[in-house]
Structure 1
């Protein structure tokens, strides 16, 4: 039955693929191989499948290459946009810091001018009070002198009348009359001088009042300028502080404890700059100035903290993300495993940079990681850089953010050239993209 079926199939295929013979000739003999229609059909089908597989594999490779090139171009554009935005934000931050410093200098000058004007105003007020007191004394003296003059005139008239009654003439005692006249003339001169002195003091009081009004007007203008300066300073501090505060909160860091630890690390003599009134109560302007100075101090602490937390990118050249944080399929086919970092694929030898200030605690070979660098930072944070082709730092070395620490490679348990980057907080792994995204709108 099978032989008959085989014969029928060969007979059907022979119309398309007639039987062929392949002769093999040697020195002593000649042989041939018979290629039946079914054999030719099987060979033709196998060749067709091989060509089809080759075409499909080539198409897949070309599509992957095109997609990889497109992703790389997109990453380069995003990197360029990120760097330009970083430069613009840095320039704006520096400009606002310079403006805050200049405004603080103008504020100090304004405070000095206010102090001088207040001193002059107090001196003018004291002088005015003294002049008013002097005028009161002069007026009392003038009134007393007028009363004494009137009393003397009345006494002179009484004596004159008494003499006239006794002697029949008011000129009997000439010496007394002359003395009375002399006394009256002296009193008149004294009264005239006192009146002139009173008029001079009245003019001095009017001048002091005008000077006081001028000083008060200048003080009001200066207070208005100071209020404008305060408003600009408060706005600059608020605008500069808000993105920094948002960045640390987005990274899951407590800003209060963070600033406390930074301040304790810079625990030299001094502290936040404040205005003092030698034990007296603070004026509204001084309290407002202290709030601005405290804000500037907090912003400076934020700046110090930003260099000590991993908010920078470890790779600045073109790369693409190949694995994220969390669960994933093991690249060696061993089921699902937890991935405690992110993978950034790039060219071999791509520079790797420290993402924050810190101390290198490990620089060598580790199982799985290959050549690896571990850096300890402030606030209980640690970063890990694995699968490197070259290590450029030593254990115990201090590094700053942006220092080149190694080159990208394919060492350890790796399927291709890439950087395995981890961030650990108090020993527990966290998603590094949290820090990278938090700093996206700041740096």
Structure 2
């Protein structure tokens, strides 16, 4: 009964229709029942609704994609500007480091010269001290002889005057000759005394002048020591921060560098000297502390050449993909995009352990560095090194390409520590404040 009512309702709303199709020979018609009309209307409604929804989705996706592309372009432009600024700052830091090293060398030369002058001055002071002692001894001896001569002269004079009975027994001629000899001796002694006094006075003035010069030299040395201490401290602290930011133990790092250079001596050997020529004095200890800090700075400089703190590219580039998960897989390096054939450089001193074709990587170069660090340079178009070759930081090892599993020209750069991949930007960013 309900079905018949539904059919009756449909017939009232959608009465049966016929569509006539006439040709030259005959006429035909199509019979459209109420159910057929309802089905057609429902199908048409669904189709129109689907088209509206699909058009809305496509429109929204197009708008969203445009915004994402614009945002990505802006982010890329900001990153390139930041990289260019960092490169300029790195060059400026490198120039400052070179200038600081030149100042260190000049100051060290000045210290050596002043230490030599200081030793000579102290030697002269000691010699003058000995001379003054001898002069004073001679002066005292001369004054005693003078006093004895005067006493003897008075005795003789008394005898000549007849106050002494013994003078009556002395030949007047012999007494006169004796008086003349004593007078000449007194005159000679007086002259010698005056000369000794003059020499003693001059020696005292010279000693005082040398002491003043020594004090001025010590003050000058103190200023130079202070400047050197400040300069070394300012230079060492950023390096400490750089290695710590890269996760490297500075103690182990310096120990490794020293063990590799233990047979070389030279500036890496602590210098021990004393301005007193005997027990170490405060100036010597202070100078040794500066030399030890400069030795640490020199070791840091060597270590920085052996760890990958540099960029693998010197030309302009685009940062295209970072370290971390990507498309459900772990991306174990950093990608840099530039023109095909752009030179690629080693980021640290090391030895080439692989140079050839590797599935996925394409043309690949592996370099083993100190401290258990390895760097990889993939998708190259041309290789310029071979296995076993020793390379230096900044040496070209190949050219950028699109070999292996790659969607475009770029460099895939990896840093591995003891076989485990780490973020290369950790080392690059750590060096921004130093180089």
> Structure 2 length as normaliser, TM-score?
0.82
Q: Write the deviation string for residues 125-159 of structure 1: whole angstroms up to 9, x where unpaired.
A: 12211110111111222223233334444555679
User: In structure 1, how many angstroms separate the alpha carbons of the residues matched to 2:393 and 2:335?
Assistant: 19
Q: How does 1:83-232 map to 2 (within 5 A)?
A: 83-153=87-157, 161=165, 176-232=171-227
Gap change, CA 1:426 and 1:209, over 3 Å in 2: same
- Once residues 128 and 63 of structure 1 are traced to their aligned partners in structure 2, the CA distance between those partners, rounded to angstroms, is 94
| Secondary structure in 2 matching 1:242 | helix
**Residues 22, 249 of structure 1: alpha-carbon distance in 2 compared, 3 angstrom cutoff:** farther
Please state whether the residue corresponding to 1:393 is helix, strand or coil.
Answer: coil
User: Residue 208 of structure 1 aligns to a residue in which SS?
Assistant: helix
Matches within 5 A, 1:48-87: 48=52, 51-87=55-91
Is 193-202 or 406-415 further displaced after alignment? Answer: 406-415
The 5 Å alignment of 1:3-402 reads: 44-45=48-49, 47-48=51-52, 51-153=55-157, 161=165, 176-266=171-261, 267-270=263-266, 271-272=268-269, 274-277=271-274, 280-316=278-314, 317-320=316-319, 322-325=321-324, 328=325, 331=327, 337-339=329-331, 341-347=332-338, 349=340, 351-402=343-394
Gaps of 5+ in 1: 13-18, 164-169
Is 1:272–1:293's contact at 8 Å kept on the other side of the alignment? no
Measured at CA, do residues 255 and 146 of structure 1 come closer, stay the same or move farther in structure 2, by a change above 3 Å? same
TM-align CA RMSD? 3.9
Equivalent residues in 2 for 1:394-433, closer than 5 Å: 394-409=386-401, 411-413=403-405, 418-433=410-425
Shift, 1:83, TM fit? 1.0
Partners in 2 of 1:417 and 1:9 — Cα distance? 71
> In structure 2, how many angstroms separate the alpha carbons of the residues matched to 1:383 and 1:144?
95
CA distance in 1, matches of 2:103, 2:322: 44
Give me the whole-angstrom Cα distance separating, in 2, the residues matched to 1:264 and 1:20. 101
Return the alpha-carbon distance in structure 2 between the equivalents of residues 362 and 245 of structure 1.
32
Report how far residue 254 of structure 1 moved.
Answer: 2.1
Cα distance in 1 for residues equivalent to 2:290 and 2:176 = 77
Distance 2:119 2:76 in 1: 63
Q: Distance in 1 between matches of 2:366 and 2:337?
A: 21
Give the whole-Å Cα distance in 2 for the aligned partners of 1:404 and 1:8: 87
Shift of 1:224: 0.6
* SS of equivalent residue, structure 1 residue 424: strand
1:355-402 C-alpha deviation (Å, 9 max, x unpaired) = 211122112232343332211011221112234454443322332223
3-state DSSP of counterpart to 1:360: strand
Encode CA deviations 1:150-191: one digit per residue, 9 max, x unaligned.
44445556797479xxxxxx7xx8x81122122112212211
Q: 1:75 to 1:29 in 2, by over 3 A?
A: farther
Change (3 A) 1:287 1:69: same
- Of 240-249 and 152-161, more deviation after overlay is shown by 152-161
Q: Residue 160 and residue 393 in structure 1: after superposition, are their counterparts in 2 closer, same or farther (change >3 A)?
A: closer
Judged with a 3 Å threshold, the aligned counterparts in structure 2 of structure 1 residues 57 and 407 are, in CA distance, closer, same or farther, namely: farther
Return the alpha-carbon distance in structure 2 between the equivalents of residues 57 and 5 of structure 1: 47
Cα deviation, residue 291, structure 1:
1.8
Residues 388/30 of structure 1: CA separation in 2 closer, same or farther (3 Å cut): farther
Aligned-partner Cα distance in 1 for 2:173–2:322: 126
Which 10-residue stretch deviates more, 400-409 or 131-140?
Answer: 400-409
Of the structure 1 ranges 236-245 and 316-325, higher mean CA displacement relative to structure 2 is found in 316-325
Number of residues of Structure 1 aligned to a counterpart in Structure 2: 418
